[in-house]
Structure 1
Amino acid sequence: MTVLAGAAAANAAQPRPKSLMLPQLRGEWRKTTTTKTWWLFALAVVVTTGLGLVLSVGTTDDALHHGGKGAPPQGFADVSQAPARLVATFAADIFTSGKLFGGMFATLMAVLLITNEYHHQTATTTFLAAPRRTAVVVAKFAMAMIAAVAIWALSTAIDIAVGLYYFSTQDLGSQLGSWTVDQAILVNLMTFALWGVFGIGAGVLLRSQTPATVITVLLHTVGAYGVLAVVALIRTYVYQHDSVYAWVVLYPAYAAQIAADPHSANLPGGTHVWWVGALVMLAYGIVMATVGTLILQRRDVS
């Protein structure tokens, strides 16, 4: 008993190993916030969210006063009499106006978290400084999601400020509290975080900064139109039915858009279900997280 008690006391006296997670996360935070990159991203988010608001508020105002987008052909003589469901749909679009380019910036920020290590030749130091690579990998993913949430918060704050002002001028109330609106905002948050995970996986796979950046931008812009063009050709020559347009939900940029606000996708063939887009984005997030983790754990960084 004396021996056992002595061994227990000795074990208790030994210092416990400190968690490596927080130091690694602090390191990733410093790398992100001590350069001008985040200022540039913030400025870009403000500008592109403003452009998105011009489009979404303009479309909403035109529909309410002149018809279209679910409103009567002649619009509403008194917009305060517009159906609550229709107004909530317009509000969901306005309050998520920054989702297109915001998602792109969230992905780019995550891509740079990885590719900067190779571009500036700090990958060896980063991975060898930590006894376990798992801490580095988790910190990268965590920082990517934190950055993505910050971009979402900035974009959403601008959307809400402008949206509240617009709806107050139309005597339509804030629209916040409507489940259609709240769901769009919350799902948009989820898709932004998943774009961060997606970006880490893309950065790991591509590794080189310039190709990774270019491909990310193309994924969110030209690629989306390219996918729509391919689906349109299939609709014309292979399967003559508008339901074929539902396939675009398999493309991540469209999946994120449909998840946050199905009506904003403006696709033929009717309304798409938001949770399908959410599931597709979640699947991409899981796959990219798994691929990114496995490669970072095993890749030679020397």
Structure 2
Amino acid sequence: MTTFIRAINSEFAKLFTTRMWWILSLVLFLYIALLAGGLSWLFGGIQSGAITPTAGGGASAAPELDNLPSLIYSFASSVGYVFPVLLGALATTGEFRHQTLTPTFLANPRRVNVLGAKTVSMLIVGAGLGVVGLLASMGVGAIVLNSFDVDPALGDLDTWALAGRSILAMALWAAIGVGLGVLVPSQVASIVIVLAFTQFVEPLLRLASSFIEVTANIGKFLPGAASDALVGASFFTIASPASAVLEWWQGGLVLLAYAVVATVAGYFTSWKKDVT
């Protein structure tokens, strides 16, 4: 147990002695703050009557008042999840790229412990990124909504339950990033996969699958859909409100399964190989 705790401390040291973690945290905060602030201003203004839509549909085109704060706050995970995935993947692929696995395995020959420590440390760091994202979405979103006299729902237990599930989702995404980095040791390839899948492939798959009931039932098991189900809200539901969704706990289990499968597969395909 002592060896495992030391391995976790070592993983934290590896991460926090680089600039990668705080740069991604800063970009995450600014990105979510911009999106949350902008859409809070738009939809809050429409619902309060301060902004009159010029297109057809009028104010009914905006989300329902009771759901708007949750939709705004969910940006922390529904959009920001790419950051813990990237951080987890970079933390793992960096070991292969800079050949730091050699001294790591010499200090701790039990490779399962090393990988387990990296996963645990990134779960914690991913949760921290979730807090950063929530500070941006809830902080900026609540201020803008309140400026339009729209209730930011900060006194509701459901809001804080959503915040807790968002942190859990971000932690699981970081674990998925670790698994991806082990499965695809090439840093460039893993970054391309993360960005291509999260920003283009999966959104298109989710949108396409929502039109037919059979494919919708399959699409709800995509990682992004499972994450949104775990959190309980997402702006993606505006584009496809009829999409099938999992229960929040089911979404969490699906995300966990992705992390476990990727990590186990990566362990047997690359982590156990000889390193120089």
Please give the TM-score of this superposition, normalised by the length of structure 1. 0.76
- 1:255 matched to 2:238? The reply is no
Residue 290 of structure 1 aligns with an amino acid whose one-letter code is V
In structure 1, what is the Cα distance between the partners aligned to 2:199 and 2:101? 30
> Which of residues 272, 284, 290 in structure 1 aligns to 2:245?
272
1:87-98 matches, cutoff 5 A:
87-98=65-76
Larger Rg computed on CA atoms:
1
- Partner residue, 1:111: 89
Once superposed, which parts of structure 1, at least 4 consecutive aligned residues long, lie more than 6 Å away?
none
Shift in Å at residue 97 of structure 1?
1.8
> Which of residues 159, 162, 166 in structure 2 aligns to 1:188?
166
Kept in 1: contact 2:227–2:251 (CA 8 A) = yes
Residue 259 of structure 2 aligns with an amino acid whose one-letter code is G
Kept in 2: contact 1:262–1:271 (CA 8 A) = no
Shift in Å at residue 252 of structure 1?
0.9
Please give the TM-score of this superposition, normalised by the length of structure 2. 0.83
Please, which moves more after superposition, 170-179 or 111-120?
A: 170-179
Residue deviations 1:61-116 (CA, integer Å, cap 9, x gap) = 1551469xxxxx6549xxxxxxxx94442111122222244211101111111111
Kept in 1: contact 2:154–2:160 (CA 8 A) = yes
Structure 2, unpaired ranges of 5+: 52-56
Tell me: CA distance 1:117–1:273, structure 2 relative to 1, closer, same or farther (3 Å): closer
Residue deviations 1:216-246 (CA, integer Å, cap 9, x gap) = 11121011233146537xx4xxxxx456434
Residue 259 of structure 1 aligns with an amino acid whose one-letter code is L
Residue deviations 1:123-146 (CA, integer Å, cap 9, x gap) = 121112114223312210012112
Shift in Å at residue 190 of structure 1?
1.3
- Partner residue, 2:54: none
- Partner residue, 1:284: 258
SS of the equivalent of 2:2 reads coil
Kept in 1: contact 2:86–2:194 (CA 8 A) = yes
Kept in 2: contact 1:24–1:139 (CA 8 A) = yes
Question: How many equivalent pairs are there?
Answer: 266
- 1:123 matched to 2:101? The reply is yes
SS of the equivalent of 1:210 reads helix
- Partner residue, 1:216: 194
In structure 1, what is the Cα distance between the partners aligned to 2:156 and 2:244? 19
How much is the aligned-residue C-alpha RMSD, in angstroms? 2.9
Please, which moves more after superposition, 104-113 or 265-274?
A: 265-274
Kept in 2: contact 1:194–1:281 (CA 8 A) = yes
Kept in 1: contact 2:69–2:142 (CA 8 A) = no
> Which of residues 11, 30, 34 in structure 2 aligns to 1:28?
11
Kept in 1: contact 2:111–2:271 (CA 8 A) = yes
Q: Identity rate of aligned residues, in percent?
A: 23
- Partner residue, 2:121: 143
Kept in 1: contact 2:88–2:174 (CA 8 A) = yes
> Which of residues 168, 174, 180 in structure 2 aligns to 1:202?
180
Residue deviations 1:40-80 (CA, integer Å, cap 9, x gap) = 2122112211232145314531551469xxxxx6549xxxx
Shift in Å at residue 213 of structure 1?
0.9
Tell me: CA distance 1:243–1:174, structure 2 relative to 1, closer, same or farther (3 Å): same
SS of the equivalent of 2:81 reads helix
- Structure number with greater CO (CA < 8 Å, separation at least 6) is 2
Tell me: CA distance 1:297–1:221, structure 2 relative to 1, closer, same or farther (3 Å): closer
In structure 2, what is the Cα distance between the partners aligned to 1:47 and 1:116? 25
Kept in 2: contact 1:257–1:264 (CA 8 A) = no
Structure 1, unpaired ranges of 5+: 1-17, 68-72, 77-84, 236-240
